[in-house]
Amino acid sequence: MSNLFHELNDKQIQAVQATQGPVLILAGAGSGKTKTLTHRIAYLIAEKGVLPHQILAVTFTNKAAAELRQRAATLLRQNPKAWVTWRGFGSSPALGTFHSICVRILREDTGKIGYKRSFVIYDTADQKASMRDVMRREGVSPKDVNPSTVLGMISRAKNELLSPEEFEPEARGPVEKIASRLYSSYQNYLKQNHAMDFDDLLMQCVILFRKHPDVLKKYQDMWHYIMIDEYQDTNHVQYEWARMLAGKRQNLFVVGDDWQGIYSWRGATIRNILEFEQDFKGALVIRLEQNYRSTVPIVELGNSIIAGNSGQIKKKLWTEKSGEHVPEVLQVSDEVREAEKVLEKISGIEEVQSSNHADLKHEVESSEEITYDYEAESEGTGILDKIMGTMGKGKGSKHVDSVSRKPSKVPYDIGQQKINWNNFAVLYRTNAQSRALEEVLLKYGVPYRLIGGIRFYERKEIKDTLAYLRFLLNPNDSVSLARVINEPSRGIGERSLSAVQGLARAKNQSILLTMLGIEDLDSLSSQRAQAIKQFALVFDRARQSIDELSVTEIIDLLLARSGYLDYLKAQAEEGEERIENIEELKNVAKKFEAIKGLQGLEAFLEEVSLITDIDSYDPEAGQALTLMTLHAAKGLEFETVFLVGLEEGLLPHSNSIIDPQELEEERRLCYVGITRAMDRLYLIHTRQRALHGSIVGNIPSRFLSELNDEHVQFFDEDEW
Ligand code: ATP
Ligand code: MG
């Protein structure tokens, strides 16, 4: 027992021990919300005799779920009795993301709402392809209405749990009206393909619970204790899902911070926190005020930023953690210097740490030499003006002259040095910002892990391979089929394909079966019919021998027989790289080696579908500098954080500058970024930046002018 509590403060202990009834922990960043949740899992098992499988804990990323599991196991290991229960019972708590838990539920009972057990999960690209198809059928031109806009509207409707019928009267304006009409056809289309998009996973789960109370009861009886991390980012459908599962017991434990709500664009609503006490009668609300993550100046900077937002819950956040480092705002010439600056700083920090000699301190850390005397040059009175003063004239003016860039001071062999890269993270607002950073890191051979941007799973060859596998698993999946039927080219056009689909519908049989018996179709030339049949035979034969095969063998078989591998081999260098990527995919598939046949394939495809950006983050996988967006960074912490691109138009983002509410969300993003830092924080902005193909002059982010300047030093590159 003592083991479980010795690292917790009184409030945290109170929260851990409040095991019955609804509980809300409302507290600032780094105050131990996630830690408390983890300890509560361990406490329930160790002290309350709760069986592991009676616990459901939901987080927003698979990574966070894995971390919860690992931390709870570590805690339980210290308590022999609980360890035996944990290991011996052979069950573990359901720990996962909303999406992964929903998939689990749906796989069991999805037949009850008309989907096959082996339904596939469509990602954004699949959704767009489906929508284009639907629009074509409905006679709506993508030139008039953008498929992504329609999908965005449908997504919002789904997040609000609105069916097509319910959405129709709500639709305002001509585009939304079209979207509401397409919503219904789109749902039918997905259903025909036995496919769900990400929003469906949650919505269909709630529909399943509503239509089949017996299914809901099964889970209510199983999960006695439900916990949700990052509750501020839940939307209506997630709220409803949790509310239904909490049932009569009402053992719902949620933790959140309204200051960190950054997903309102995905329908997250702060209402879920504000009205928790009304929704769940008798709820206990606990506030944690001490931050254990960051040093005094970092916490104070966070507080000063967030104070700029109105209408938020008043909370205190303080820390006792001391540290020598004073956070820095650095102005550099452009995005290349920005990246170099990150490396120079890392090199300086590592040098100091390894030598432990004050006089070896990197020169840029000696404040006397480099403190920028902005008073002397300031043109206005605010800090923004002061910073502007360092930029010469032209507040906000665009200047595209060639950059006069300071020479790099990055040690040429930094990539080979023994550096604890895992301690460092570079955070930015938009994925596009990673390119310049990556180029500099590659130049110096610095190991890095990129989270977001062009993901591995978005590479063409990976998507093609997965589409081959998905069609093998689900012979009704027309989207996957359309993706690969002409990869490599087989001379089968869109018209032939839709003729096959039409025939499959008419005959009420799978597309694969229809393709195998394609001679029936007069409208096709015999040459085309032959090509279609040959293609279908690849899948048919693979299906016949599949029971003995592992996923990697299935991949090899399918890619060889379909001619896809030869097609890549013919592409010289580019093809080689693509084949390497497929080999990498097979590495992922190796995890499922033990499960043969369609079952293994299903498990593999499910895992792949659920992998989100954040999941490529694996601190165990060697030392690497982390690059990621602010959105992906929530809940994480790093010794040193570089928040880059603090410029108007980037943070706050240009799309969000006009709307005051969106601007507040940008401020919360900035707050999330600052509060990821444990010991050191650098905020960098450039004078000009090449982004999206053009070079623009930038003015510093307004958020820099909101920083409490007692706790930060401002540096201009020219002063170093
Ligand atoms: P965020 O809002 O960013 O998700 P959080 O409130 O979930 O933050 P945690 O990640 O749980 O905060 O904790 C932040 C850090 O503080 C962790 O390193 C954790 O181990 C540490 N910590 C939390 N509570 C205590 C405590 N009572 N004593 C010592 N360290 C603590
Ligand atoms: Mg947390």
The predicted pLDDT at position 363 comes to: 37
CA gap 245, 94 in Å, rounded:
13
Please choose, from the candidates 151, 119, 114, the residue with its C-alpha nearest in 3D space to the C-alpha of residue 133.
151
The owner of tokens 């040095």 is 417
Ligand 1 pocket residue status of 30, Cβ below 6 Å: yes
- Using DSSP, state whether 41 is helix, strand or coil: helix
Tell me: the pLDDT tens digits for 540-597? 999 999 999 999 999 999 999 999 999 998 876 667 768 877 887 887 788 788 889 9
- Residue 693 confidence (pLDDT) above 80: no
| Dist. CA 618 → ligand 2 center (Å) | 17
The dihedral of CA 658, 662, 664, 670: what is its sign?
A: negative
Helices 98-109 and 213-222: crossing angle in degrees, nearest 10, is 130
**pLDDT band per the 50, 70, 90 thresholds, residue 61:** confident
| Dist. CA 661 → ligand 1 center (Å) | 29
127-141, 193-207, 248-262, 519-533: least confidently modelled range: 519-533
Strand 328-332 with 713-716, pairing = parallel
Ligand 1 pocket residue status of 34, Cβ below 6 Å: yes
| Cβ-based neighbours of 399, under 8 Å, separated by 6 or more | 687, 688, 697
Are 407 and 667 in contact, with CB atoms under 8 Å apart? Answer: no
Q: Name the closest-CA residue to atom 20, ligand 1.
A: 35
CA gap 588, 610 in Å, rounded:
13
Domain with CATH 1.10.486.10 in the chain: 456-614
Whether 260 is catalytic is yes
| Dist. CA 294 → ligand 1 center (Å) | 10
- Residue 394 confidence (pLDDT) above 60: no
Q: How far from the centroid of its chain's Cα atoms is residue 201's Cα?
A: 16
Output 77 or 547, whichever has higher pLDDT. 547
Ligand 1 atom nearest 292 alpha carbon: 16
Whether 281 is catalytic is no
Q: Does domain 10-110+202-290 have CATH number 1.10.10.10?
A: no
CA distances for 345 relative to 330, 335, 404, 619, angstroms: 11, 15, 21, 21
Q: CATH second-level architecture of 456-614? A: Orthogonal Bundle (1.10)
Domain with CATH 3.40.50.300 in the chain: 10-110+202-290, 328-451+618-719
Beta strands (DSSP E) in 644-697 are: 677-686, 688-691, 694-697
**Judging by beta carbons within 10 Å of its beta carbon (0-12, 13-18, 19+), is residue 418 exposed, middle or buried?**
exposed
pTM of the model: 0.79
Which residue from 6, 292, 638 has its CB within 8 A of the most atoms of ligand 1, so it is best to mutate? 292
The number of the ligand nearest the C-alpha atom of 31 reads 1
CA gap 487, 467 in Å, rounded:
11
Whether 230 is catalytic is yes
Ligand 1 pocket residue status of 33, Cβ below 6 Å: yes
Report the top-level CATH class of 328-451+618-719: alpha beta
- CATH number given to 120-193: 1.10.10.160
Ligand 1 pocket residue status of 35, Cβ below 6 Å: yes
Tell me: the pLDDT tens digits for 145-196? 888 899 999 999 999 999 999 999 988 888 999 999 999 999 999 999 999 9
The number of the ligand nearest the C-alpha atom of 13 reads 1
CA gap 307, 314 in Å, rounded:
10
Beta bridge partners of 253: 23, 227
Structure tokens at 79: 């308590």
Domain with CATH 1.10.10.160 in the chain: 120-193
Ligand 1 pocket residue status of 720, Cβ below 6 Å: no
Which residue from 9, 14, 25, 31 has its CB within 8 A of the most atoms of ligand 1, so it is best to mutate? 31
- Residue 383 confidence (pLDDT) above 60: no
Whether 676 is catalytic is yes
